[in-house]
Structure 1
Amino acid sequence: MAEKFIPAYRQSYEIIRDMILNGALPQGTKVVEEKLAAELGVSRTPIRESIRKLEQEGLIVNKKVVTPTEKDLRNTFQVRILLEGYSARCAATYLRDTELQALQECVRIGHTGSIDEIMSANERFHEIIVQASNNAAMIDIIDRMQSVIYLFRRTVVYYNRPFLIDEHERIYEAIQARDGQQAELLMQQHLQADLEFCLHLLSDSRK
């Protein structure tokens, strides 16, 4: 099977995002297009597009690197709990059989896959549900928080948060049963558990 083509802009964005989140580009570092383009071996155009997206997501402000604060994390999850909870309710009404099968496959990979496969399946699981809202404004809001969401996703997967995939499975089962109220509640509880787990780790790292 042919490898999926990833645009230069997307590759650059992911590399720079990860450099910020893992500390390779420390807080306060001035972001210089020419330097990053030389380091990554690409033209300035994809770098410029990457920086623009990272500015939208709040990781670069006034051409300098910032890192999400505890307040940023709480604010992000308050929005996600509202919007993704609603999206799960919509998914129970509108998802087609092919999309339900895709959700089920995400759960299966979550139970059996490698770390990288679980990361991708986790992202896909939430993406399918958010798209079910069919609300472009809501989808755009979630998209603008992708870096902070990615930080959380990496934390809960790499630190093996208990019951993470079991919760996905219960959300899938509620959606499959067309129980919108239960799907919404389970998604809200799932994201709240993600938040509490990450804040606990953040607190421990500061001791």
Structure 2
Amino acid sequence: MNRNNKEKSRPAYHQAYEVIRDRILNGDIPGGTKIVEEKLATDLGYSRTPIRESLRQLGYEGLIVNKKVVQPTEKDLRNLFQVRILLEGFSAQSAATYLPEEDLTTLSECINIGREGTINEIMEANERFHEIIVQASGNSIMIDTIDRMKSIIYLFRKTVVLHNRPRLNDEHEEIYEAIKARDGQAAELLMKNHLQADLDFCLHILSSSSHK
């Protein structure tokens, strides 16, 4: 089966969901935009049923709230990172105990891409780095919680990468070295500090843009 046939065989709502999600994440549909089902259906060439199902999923992920594209506030940002700091800190500790050697190699590759890749490659490598560590927790509820926040996390990850947050890759390397050394306590603390630095940086960018 070629790729086009595969695309056609996927449910219409899933195709519509991916198109709308990507347009929101890329900024083509800016934060604060009012979502009108009929207009989206016409613009994208889908019937209203798959559009409605797509919007329900995007609402579940937090990208659409009250029929508007989300514009995360400072409080939203703090709440999101509080959850991430708790869950990913625990995951880093677990990774130090349970992460297999092949995943350690992948973490190292992610760090190298983070230093030398294109913006898209860096975004993907950053996501993969955190994803591998979260999976190491072995806790399906924690993994699902982070997965549900993935789209909102992407928005903030983009801020961190595009604005070149200082020491981002150095911190990834420190976390990797602690996991490799099987030092769970250090890995947890380094991950928590890393995410706190992400939060502080995003808050700074948010504050700077609101004063322009």
Amino acid at match of 1:52: R
RMSD (CA atoms): 2.4
Deviations 1:56-95 (A, max 9, x none): 1222234333321110000000000000000000011111
Deviations 1:86-137 (A, max 9, x none): 0000011111111111111101111111110000000000000011111111
The residue aligned with 2:118 is 114
**Alignment partner for residue 172 of structure 2, among 168, 174, 182?**
168
Which structure has the bigger radius of gyration?
2
| In structure 2, C-alpha distance between the alignment counterparts of 1:64 and 1:86, rounded to whole Å | 34
**Alignment partner for residue 138 of structure 1, among 142, 151, 166?**
142
| In structure 2, C-alpha distance between the alignment counterparts of 1:28 and 1:88, rounded to whole Å | 37
Cα 1:140/1:123, change in 2 over 3 Å? same
The residue aligned with 2:69 is 65
Q: When the two structures are superposed, what TM-score results if normalisation uses the length of structure 2?
A: 0.86
Deviation at 1:143, TM superposition (A): 1.5
Amino acid at match of 1:38: T
Amino acid at match of 1:66: V
Deviation at 1:50, TM superposition (A): 3.0
Gaps of 5+ in 2: none
Structure 1 position 74 matched with structure 2 position 68: no
Cα 1:170/1:24, change in 2 over 3 Å? same
The residue aligned with 1:159 is 163
Structure 1 position 185 matched with structure 2 position 182: no
The residue aligned with 1:125 is 129
> What SS does the aligned partner of 2:29 have?
coil
| In structure 2, C-alpha distance between the alignment counterparts of 1:151 and 1:100, rounded to whole Å | 26
Is the 1:31–1:65 Cα contact (8 Å) retained in structure 2?
Answer: no
State which drifts further: 66-75 or 23-32. Answer: 23-32
Structure 1 position 17 matched with structure 2 position 21: yes
Amino acid at match of 2:32: Q
| In structure 2, C-alpha distance between the alignment counterparts of 1:9 and 1:166, rounded to whole Å | 40
Cα 1:105/1:181, change in 2 over 3 Å? same
Structure 1 position 30 matched with structure 2 position 35: yes
Instruction: Tell me how many residue pairs correspond in the alignment.
Output: 204
Deviation at 1:44, TM superposition (A): 5.0
Q: When the two structures are superposed, what TM-score results if normalisation uses the length of structure 1?
A: 0.88
| In structure 2, C-alpha distance between the alignment counterparts of 1:60 and 1:186, rounded to whole Å | 32
